Every structure is written in C-alpha cells, then in structure tokens.
Structure 1
Amino acid sequence: MNAADEGRQQLDAASVLNAKRTLLQLLARAGVWSGDAEELIGLVEAGALALAHTEIGGSGRSAPEGNGEHYEAGWRDGTRAVSDELADIAERTLRRALAPDPTVSSPDDRSPVGRAEMERAKVAITPLYLSYTAVSELDPDATEQVLTAVLSTMSPRQRAGYAGRLTEFSTTHHARLERLYAEYGPGSAIAIHGRYSLVHSPTSVAVLERLAAAPAALHEEWDAAELPPAWLDGLITAWGPAAA
C-alpha cells in the first residue's frame, strides 16, 4: 500500500468496533450505565446514516456529461439504490438503539421514560431556555416529574428526535417566547413561587411545545403524574389562547 492509498484508507469493521468498545469503557468509568451508553451510540450511528441518506438523496448531483442517456439512467438508478439501502440500514440501526425495553414491541409505541431519554431532554431544553432568559431553576425533582410527563406523550422514536422538534418550535415562535419570558420569567415582576412557577424552569420550553403539538396527551400525563394544575394553567395563560 503506497502513501496515497494509506491516506485514503477507510476504517474497517474491527477498528470501528474497537472505537465503540473504547468509548463504552470510558463512559462506564464515568458512571454511565452500559445500556444508556449503547442507546446513545446507537442513536449517533442511526443519525449519521440518516444524514448520509439525506445528503445523497438531496445532493442534486448528476451523471458526468457526454456518456449518453443509458449511462445517466444507470447513474440515477444506482444513486437511488444506494440511498434506499442507507435509509433501510438507518431504520434498522434506530430500531436496535430503541429496543432495549422488552415491554415495547415497536419504537412507535409509547413506553416508560428511560434515563438516557431524560438526560437527552435536559440537554436539549437548557440552551433553548437560556437563549431567552437567565437561570432560575425549580426543584430538580419537580423538573424530572415535569419532563417525565412531557416525554410520556411520545414514543421512543419521537423522543429520539425531540431535540429537533424543540429547536424547530423555538425558531418558529422565537418572538412569542421572548415576550413570554420577559413578562413572566426570571427578572420579571412575577415571583418564582405561584401560578407562573413553570416559566422559571427550562422545562417550560418542553411543556409549551407539547401544548402546541399534543395538548390532550399532555393533559392526560399531567393528571396521571398529579402535577400542580396551576403550573400548567399559568403557562397556558402566559402563552395565550392558542396553547389551550
């Protein structure tokens, strides 16, 4: 193998597996449960494949000119075949990543909220919340209870893509969210304890997204978790009639 070939060498299966095992061991030393680590790595793998599928399918690349109609048709068919196979592999990888719970037959069925799902939600909501206001956290136990109710409205597949949903929601309603946190959040005249308590927590972004996307399911899970009705009512009032 010459230097040019070595520079272009792709990672082989053994090297990829070695990197994965190394990462799992490092995460285990940091106290991350192996099941959570496997799920997170699986989601990264599935996401990389899905992004590759999107890039190939939407790249707009055309066959080199001057090779004739049959060549161009073969080029398109080959690109489509590769793209379809990537999509299938991405789906299988996602299903494997989301299948640890033996009580769940499909990643599209609602299921109990896992630890990794809870942590992914926390990582997703915090920077969005801080883009509107300052830190003013509720009791951590209350945060987890609220997030559990929010995540329980979704299937594992929906939870896997929840960060994207939250980002899209925040982008779409940016001005409205700015107004809400300025009027009711930290730094406003509204006290942290009371009807508008939830506006003082990063979980409010998640609750607002669910009020817009799945209000009936959120009310159902909220009641089942026996969370304070005033928190939800206050957030609905602060947001406006569309949230009800």
Structure 2
Amino acid sequence: MTAAREERLQLDAASVDNARTTLLQLLARAGVYSGDAEELIGLVEAGALAVAHEELSGTGRQAPPGSGEPYAAGWREGSRAVTEGLAGLADRALGKAVAADAEGEPDPRTRVGRMEVERAKVAVVPLYLTFSEESDLDPEVTEQVLASALATMGARQRAAYPGRLTSFAADHRTHLERLYATYGPGSAIAIHGRYTLVHSPTSLAVLERLAAHPAELREEWDAAELPPAWLDGLTRAWDATV
C-alpha cells in the first residue's frame, strides 16, 4: 500500500469529532434540538457498526483460498474476536443513542420522544404511498396514533421499527393492497367514522402492532383517548379482506 493510499484512509478521532460537531451546529441552525440531533447521529453510528458486524460475520470469516488448516483456524478465531468486538460496540452505541436506563434493562418501555415519532413518520409514509396515492388524516392526530403504537415497544425496538414496518408491508403486500383498494382513499368507502384510519399512513403502523401486540396497543390507545371506532374499523377492514 502506497503512502498516498494510507493517507487517504486515515481519519483520526479529532477529524471525526469535528465532523460531528459541524453537523450538530448546522442542525441547530436549522432548528433541530441538540438532543434530537445527538440521538439521530448516535443511531447512524450504531447502525454503521451493526452493518459492519453483519458483513464481517459472513464472508469476512473465511480464510483466503489455499490457506492451510492452522492458518485458517487462526483466521477464523481472529475474525470471531473482531466481529464479537464490533457487536459489543454496536450494542453500546445503540444503548447510548436510545438512552437506555441505568439499571440495564434490555429494552425498557420509556416515554415516546418527539424524534421517535418523526422517525416512524418518515418510515411509514413512503410505505403507505406504495398502496395509496393520498392521505387524509390530520397531522396532529397522526402523531398521536404513532405515539400510541410506539408506546407498546421499548426504546431499542423503536429504533429498529422502520425495518420491522418494511418487513410487515412486504410480508402482507397482497392483503394490504386489497384492504386499501377496498377501504382506502379512492375507494367507495368515504373517509368517515370507523374507517377513518384506513385513509392514514398510520394504519400500517397500527396493523403491525395489532398483529404483534394487540393488547398493549389497545391499552395505549385507550390511554391516549383515541376513538375506539378507528381501531375497530381497521380491524374489521383487515379481517374482511383476508
């Protein structure tokens, strides 16, 4: 490796800290609260470590072709140590990003934060728009519904919720297409009463929670004083389009 190549690869701690501080200052100028910005940056950092761990856990453990068994065994042992170290770093970074409690609970149920709702909104809207061309629910109500869905999860689960929503939408695509075609925007069912929620991107999040933890969702729904008819209507629509 040439000296020029080595220089390009170097990124010291001071340079990383400079980039982080610069990003925080730019986000602050845009009106993003520093705590929210720190959380987002922390999740990106934890995610980068997790992706590196996943990649190295695959082909990274294989010794170069033609290696003898003693060399290959040493390679595997070294790779295992590196990947386990990355997994630990990723876990600690995620714990720091989501502010896990000091008692070390693996996935504490904490108050839903504003940035968690924003992340859920960013995740669910594009998914919903693959089934419908429009959304009719009030933005304030959207946040209340998403907060209720997120309240059924711990902080770490919320951090990974966009991936869970994506998997849910992929696994149930045919069913969801029938549901939104029959009850969603553009259908013969007007936005009113029990089927109001079907016209909102939040319906995807609510359906996923109904499938995973229905009792917890209904508990949070009642606590938020959201209309019971919305939840019942979405359940009826889901069952009617199986």
TM-score by length of 1: 0.93
Which 5+ residue runs of structure 1 have no aligned equivalent?
Answer: none
- Do the aligned residues in 1 keep the contact of 2:42 with 2:94 (CA within 8 Å)? yes
**Secondary structure, in 3 states, of the residue corresponding to 2:19?**
helix
- Do the aligned residues in 2 keep the contact of 1:107 with 1:156 (CA within 8 Å)? no
Provide Cα deviations, 1:146-179, integer angstroms capped at 9, x if missing partner: 1111010000000000000000000000000000
- Do the aligned residues in 2 keep the contact of 1:150 with 1:210 (CA within 8 Å)? yes
Q: 1:42 to 1:85 in 2, by over 3 A?
A: same
1:57 is aligned to 57
1:89 is aligned to 89
Which 5+ residue runs of structure 2 have no aligned equivalent?
Answer: none
Aligned pairs for 1:1-244 within 5 A: 2-7=3-8, 9-59=9-59, 61-99=61-99, 106=105, 108-240=107-239
TM-score by length of 2: 0.94
- Aligned partner letter, 2:45: E
**CA RMSD, Structure 1 to Structure 2 (Å):** 1.9
Q: Distance in 2 between matches of 1:117 and 1:41?
A: 13
Q: Distance in 2 between matches of 1:68 and 1:133?
A: 57
Q: Distance in 2 between matches of 1:29 and 1:104?
A: 35
- Aligned partner letter, 2:42: G
Query: How much does 1:136 deviate?
Result: 2.2
- Aligned partner letter, 2:59: S
- Do the aligned residues in 2 keep the contact of 1:195 with 1:231 (CA within 8 Å)? yes
Task: Give the length in aligned residue pairs.
Answer: 241
Query: How much does 1:134 deviate?
Result: 1.6
- Do the aligned residues in 2 keep the contact of 1:99 with 1:106 (CA within 8 Å)? no
Provide Cα deviations, 1:52-78, integer angstroms capped at 9, x if missing partner: 001101226521244422111100000
Q: 1:144 to 1:107 in 2, by over 3 A?
A: farther
Query: How much does 1:104 deviate?
Result: 8.1
Q: Distance in 2 between matches of 1:196 and 1:64?
A: 59
Q: 1:224 to 1:62 in 2, by over 3 A?
A: same
**Secondary structure, in 3 states, of the residue corresponding to 1:196?**
helix
Provide Cα deviations, 1:116-159, integer angstroms capped at 9, x if missing partner: 10100000000000000022221122111111110100000000
Q: 1:241 to 1:134 in 2, by over 3 A?
A: closer
Q: Distance in 1 between matches of 2:52 and 2:5?
A: 25
- Do the aligned residues in 1 keep the contact of 2:152 with 2:220 (CA within 8 Å)? yes
Q: Distance in 2 between matches of 1:223 and 1:118?
A: 18
Query: How much does 1:191 deviate?
Result: 1.1
Q: Distance in 2 between matches of 1:143 and 1:64?
A: 53
Q: Distance in 2 between matches of 1:64 and 1:110?
A: 45
